[in-house]
Amino acid sequence: MKFASKVWKLLVGVKDALALLFLVMFFGLIYAALSARPAAGSVEKGALLLDLNGVIVEEKSKVDPFDLLLSGEAPTREFQARDIERALRLAAKDDRVKVVVLDLSRFMGGRFVHLRGIGAAMDEVRKAGKPVLTFANAYLDDGVQLAAHSSEAWLDPMGEALIAGPGGNMNYYKGLIDRFKVNAHVYRVGTYKSYVEPYLRSDMSPEARQAYEDVYGTLWEAWKADVRKARPKARTDELAANPAGMMKAAGGDFAQGAKAAGIVDRLGDKTEFERRVAELAGKSDDDDLPYAHTRLATWLAANPEKKPGEAIAVVTIAGDIVDGDAGPGQAGGDRIAELLDDNIDEDFKALVVRIDSPGGSATAAERIRRAIQRWRDAKIPVVVSMSNLAASGGYWVSTPAQKIYAEPGTITGSIGVFAVIPSFEKTLADFGVTSDGVRTTPLSGQPDLLGGFTPELNELLQASVENAYGKFLAIVAKARGRTPQQIDAVAQGRVWPGAEARRLGLVDEMGNLDAALGHAAKLGGVGNGKWHAEFLGEKPDAFTSFIEQLEAKPQDDTAAYDFAGLVAARQQAQAGRALGQLEGLLGMRGVQAYCLECPPLPGAGVKAKNLPLVRGLAKVAGWN
């Protein structure tokens, strides 16, 4: 028996050694590929091709190789909005670019503020006398917004163009929680702090409905105004209100209906579209595409950003604000605080804080706020630029600024906090499991997730949340020159559109990142001198750089989405949102300053690390 045991241990050791050897070889091959990757190709006179097969974001996420291995598939590709804008503005002035092409065949979406800025850059290209063409098999709201700014919007004859508008349903878990007798302990401050409502209710509260209607209504009007300005003759209202009627009027042909509505200009498949581009850009003998072209990654590499004059630092706070070193793509409190502290003595004339975040951990938000405040204390001007979202914790970190810029499509406010912790004593009691013991104090053994919470613990947790809210109010009141009572009147967890936030005194000016940078340079004493923006952050690691290099390579056009395929792909965003709500109940997070009303990024699906939980839930629910 001992001999068999020794043999078994030997076999296990050999297996472990082979597994380790395989991993070493695997990452060795990756390192070799990274080291040997070719330099970006040269610019070809013809078309600038923006193959937007992914989502448009404020900041690209860091690629985690272990998540990549776990998922077994490539991550959703991300494009930084400012990179696309810069590429378009360069194209407007560069004689090598004859035409700009936006391939939206696999476009997974973006938020309004980013798309509005890209649309304005497309307009600059057209004003320079250069055509801008878009192509897609299906256009949804964000694709329609980009296509509106083109000189020729193409749609496949088998395709569709539909307008849904912001909004939709969300899940409420009160019935599920009651069914399994889970005790969802919810602690919150704020009448409008609706993040916790799915755990307490089976439907939307009147207060939450009012907040949603105001925010989504403003976003909807802003979207229509942007599209209407770019395409005055487009019948967007009619298509949005009665899509079935418009398609019926077009004989049931969705593509013809889209053309009749003025959403697209020409119908043709990919081959016909490429022939049209070749007429404008010139032909190419390349097997890749029949027209001369340069892709986005190559174009940016060939046009590195110039850095004249004085430097204005820009720190990006994008994604959920979380504790620790997470990011980029997530705003890890420690990472961003260290980034700010490491650069405070680098002779920057000013700091611009670029925010695109729905908030998150109150502790991490305060860590970031204190780091920004240290720049103010060092007599360095600080200006905030709000992108799509600067809500809850995203507003918390904006408070040290001397001036806050927002845009009409910005969602901000949501000044409120909450905490959610479940316990399962009632669930276990149904199976005959009870608990008993000895306590020396009311907090002994607490929080007891299996035996239940004591009244004293509940009281302390609610007091902790109220204390955090009081600090939030005090910080905002001091920053805005108001009393806590005045801020409380416009807080209570309610979200506000950018223009309304300005009227209420939560925001100072309407303007984009360029406006914030210009004001920061003025505060920094640059005057009429030259200056440039210096985005703080680590350079991409080798693995992330390797993944990004794939953007410069030809893509497989067989992956293009029709309407049904595009909708199915974007359903992952809904799955990710639902999973996020369940994680909010089960994830045991601390006090949160987070905005539920803030719309999710289209195309943002379930992360690889969450796949086991998704599959487990699917198994429990009996899903295939």
* Cα separations in angstroms, 355 against 352, 365, 411: 10, 12, 11
Average pLDDT of the segment spanning 314-324: 95
Residue 498 has pLDDT above 80, yes or no: yes
Residue 565 has pLDDT above 80, yes or no: no
CATH number at 310-543: 3.90.226.10
Report d(CA 278, CA 423) in Å as an integer: 64
What would the pLDDT profile of 591-602 be if each residue is shown by its tens digit? 787 776 676 666
For residues 218, 221, 223, 225, the Cα torsion angle rounded to the nearest 10 degrees is -140
Please say whether the beta carbons of 321 and 359 come within 8 A.
yes
Residue 450, sorted as left (phi over 0), alpha (psi -120 to 50) or beta, turns out to be: alpha
Look up 193 and say whether it is catalytic: yes
Report which of residues 588 and 415 the model is more confident about.
415
pLDDT at 512: 97
Which one of the listed residues 392, 398, 414, 423 is annotated catalytic? 392
What would the pLDDT profile of 30-82 be if each residue is shown by its tens digit? 544 444 443 446 899 999 999 999 999 999 988 766 655 555 556 778 999 99
Average pLDDT of the segment spanning 226-233: 96
pLDDT at 19: 59
**Structure token pair of residue 394:** 């995203």
How far is residue 208 CA from its own chain's centroid? Answer: 22
pLDDT at 552: 46
- Quick one: CA dihedral 489, 223, 110, 572, positive or negative? positive
Task: Assess whether the region 46-166+195-303+571-621 and the region 310-543 belong to the same CATH fold.
Answer: yes
Measure the CA angle with vertex 87, ends 547 and 385; round to 5°: 90
Report d(CA 177, CA 186) in Å as an integer: 13
**Structure token pair of residue 587:** 């994830």
Residue 202 has pLDDT above 50, yes or no: yes
Enumerate the domain spans of the chain.
Answer: 46-166+195-303+571-621, 310-543
Band (pLDDT 50/70/90 cuts) for residue 613 is: very low
Report d(CA 316, CA 57) in Å as an integer: 12
Report which of residues 127 and 423 the model is more confident about.
127
Look up 379 and say whether it is catalytic: no
**Structure token pair of residue 509:** 């000016």
Average pLDDT of the segment spanning 523-541: 87
Average pLDDT of the segment spanning 219-227: 96
pLDDT at 217: 93
Mean pLDDT of the chain: 85
Residue 61 has what DSSP assignment? P
Report d(CA 355, CA 410) in Å as an integer: 10
**Residues whose CB falls within 8 Å of the CB of residue 211, separated by 6 or more in sequence, listed in order:** 192, 194, 494, 495, 597
Hey, which residues does 155 pair with through a beta bridge? 136, 267
Please say whether the beta carbons of 562 and 158 come within 8 A.
yes
Q: How many residues does the chain have?
A: 624
Residue 262 has pLDDT above 70, yes or no: yes
Measure the CA angle with vertex 199, ends 198 and 203; round to 5°: 40
Question: 358, 408, 365: which is closest to 195 by C-alpha?
Answer: 358
What would the pLDDT profile of 236-251 be if each residue is shown by its tens digit? 999 999 988 888 888 8
pLDDT at 567: 66
Residue 578 has pLDDT above 70, yes or no: no
Does a cis peptide bond (omega within 30 degrees of 0) precede residue 358?
A: no
Report which of residues 603 and 200 the model is more confident about.
200
Which one of the listed residues 193, 259, 349, 607 is annotated catalytic? 193
Residue 460 has pLDDT above 70, yes or no: yes
For residues 462, 463, 468, 470, the Cα torsion angle rounded to the nearest 10 degrees is 120
Class of domain 46-166+195-303+571-621: alpha beta
